[in-house]
A = this chain, B = another copy of it.
Amino acid sequence: MSYYGSIEAGGTKFVCAVADEELTIVERISLPTTLPEETLANVFDFFDQYELKGLGVGSFGPIDVNVQSATYGYITSTPKKGWRNVDLLGLLKERYAIPIAWTTDVNAAAYGEMHLGAGKQTQSCLYLTVGTGVGGGAVVQGAVLQGFSHPEMGHISVARYPGDTMESVCPYHEQCLEGLAAGPALEKRTGIKGQLLPEDHEAWGVEAFYLAQALMNYTLILSPEKIILGGGVMKQAHLLEKIRRSLEVQLGGYVNVPEEYIVGCGLGDNSGTLGCLLLAKEGV
């Protein structure tokens, strides 16, 4: 019997899984991201146990997704030690002579959620993860969104919440979404870890304002049928409703979004893995 493989390649861990034709996960493993050679040796050990017929990879970035490019399949300018300019896709192809789908971790999650999770019955959806960083992916008219490169939605410019003068935690941008609303920004603003912050703390209003402002811009630019929010910060269930309310205020009645537009993940922590498996199966 042969299987589909999935690699969610993250900066902290590599989640590898194999699944059967119905995408039922047969085995799954989480490997620490150390140096490429060591991490890949563990990845190979895992997949070598199986006969694979396709592999889907959703990687941390930035990565090169341009098939015309000489560095297609590379992790490019990451600050992650040892991983800059690593030909991840090439190393995998060298080991496994099978079709391998290649995109970002968040694009894979968006694809998984659209087909199997909260975005079912849509043709377009956006997935945003809010955690240590902020990253977004999207499916547009059924296909993973890529152009000259992949989206970097976490770094869009946002207007400041009135009176918020906190220095951005992003080394590149003084006022991008990640810099003002990622988990570390939330903690810097309050001195308290997000998961310990009371529901009625005003910092949640600030957090919701920034996230809603970004969702407003995603909406006005992409018009996705659904926006799905994941990541550590979104585990605070009350935040979702605060974002919905702020989005309504900020849109100012100019655009009416669909019912149940802003939702949590339908696949829990499996969005990325299932997205990769689906991409593997479809040979995308």
B-contacting residues of A (Cβ < 8 Å)?
62, 123-124, 136, 140-141, 143, 145-153, 155-160, 172-173, 175, 213, 216-218, 220-225, 250, 252-255, 257-258, 261
Contact = CB atoms under 8 A, between A and B. Distances in A.
Most chain B CB within 10 A, of A220, A225, A255, is at: A220
A223 B148 contact: yes
Contact of A148 (B148, B250, B257): B257
Contact of A222 (B213, B216, B222): B222
B145 A140 contact: yes
Contacts of A158: 157, 159
Given A157-B159, A158-B157, A160-B159, A152 B254 contact: yes
Nearest to A252: B172
Contact of A152 (B62, B148, B220): B220
A147 B124 contact: yes
A220 B252 CA distance: 24
Contacts of A124: 147-148
A148 B149 CA distance: 24
Contacts of A255: 62, 149, 152, 155
Contacts of A147: 123-124, 140, 222-225
B157 A223 contact: no
Most chain B CB within 10 A, of A143, A221, A254, A258, is at: A221
Contacts of A153: 220-221
Contact of A258 (B143, B148, B157): B148
Nearest to A150: B223
Most chain B CB within 10 A, of A217, A225, A250, A254, is at: A217
Contact of A252 (B145, B160, B173, B222): B173
23 contacts: A140-B145, A141-B146, A145-B222, A147-B223, A147-B224, A148-B225, A148-B257, A148-B261, A149-B255, A150-B223, A151-B222, A152-B220, A152-B223, A152-B255, A156-B216, A156-B217, A157-B159, A157-B213, A159-B159, A172-B252, A173-B250, A173-B252, A221-B221
B221 A157 contact: no
A165 to B, nearest CB: 13
Contact of A254 (B151, B172, B218, B257): B172
Given A140-B140, A157-B159, 15 more contacts: A62-B255, A124-B148, A140-B141, A141-B146, A145-B223, A146-B223, A147-B224, A148-B223, A148-B257, A150-B223, A152-B220, A152-B254, A155-B220, A156-B217, A172-B253
